Amino acid sequence: MSQSHAQAYFGRRYTLSASHRLHTETLTAAQNRAAYGKCNNPYGHGHNYVVEILVGGRVNPETGMVVDLAGLDALVGAQILARFDRTNLNADPAFVERVPTTENLCCTIFALLKDGLPAGKLESVRIEETENNSFECCGVPWSRPAPENHREDK
Ligand code: NI
């Protein structure tokens, strides 16, 4: 990339409320309880996730921006918020075969956004799940759509 233009990062936060249950059929009931603790509760529970999208790239000399804010909002609204906000994550196709941990939610969001940005490069998707827990994905080996192409061993 040309160094004749300034490089910068732009971060934007979105909020997303969803429920999930951490459980995998590959473990026994006891192993699920041991692995996930109260998050394995059969009735599930919810989070108000704070999703931070970090985009890096060249500062457009004309607009002074790394990425068009309205374009990014439209992409996140259509691909992420419309799909996941106020839903049960376990019911989404992305989480049929993958446990809806926040690690996996981060990586799914990364996959859904990475090829659609109006400009710049998706650097990371960071999610604050609670005031104590945060997760960050900086790359995934699969392309969108995430649900169908997520297996690395094929
Ligand atoms: Ni949880």
* 5 CA → ligand 1 middle, Å: 42
Q: List, in order, residues 6 or more apart from 33 with CB less than 8 Å away.
A: 40
CA distance 133 to 147: 25
What does the domain layout of the chain look like in residue ranges? 3-137
Q: What is the pLDDT of residues 4-40, one digit of tens each?
A: 789 999 999 999 999 999 999 999 999 999 999 999 9
CATH architecture of the domain with range 3-137: 2-Layer Sandwich (3.30)
The upper half-sphere exposure of residue 119, i.e. CA atoms within 13 Å in the direction of its Cβ, equals 17
Dump pLDDT digits (tens) for 116-128. Answer: 999 999 999 999 9
Which band of pLDDT confidence, cut at 50, 70 and 90, is reported for residue 133?
very high
Q: Cα of 126 to ligand 1 centre, how many Å?
A: 16
Give me Rg for the CA atoms of the chain. 17
Ligand 1 midpoint to CA 75 (Å): 25
Which residue from 143, 110, 144 is spatially nearest to 124, judged by alpha carbons?
110
This prediction has a pTM of 0.89
Residue 124 contacts residue 78 (beta carbons within 8 Å): no
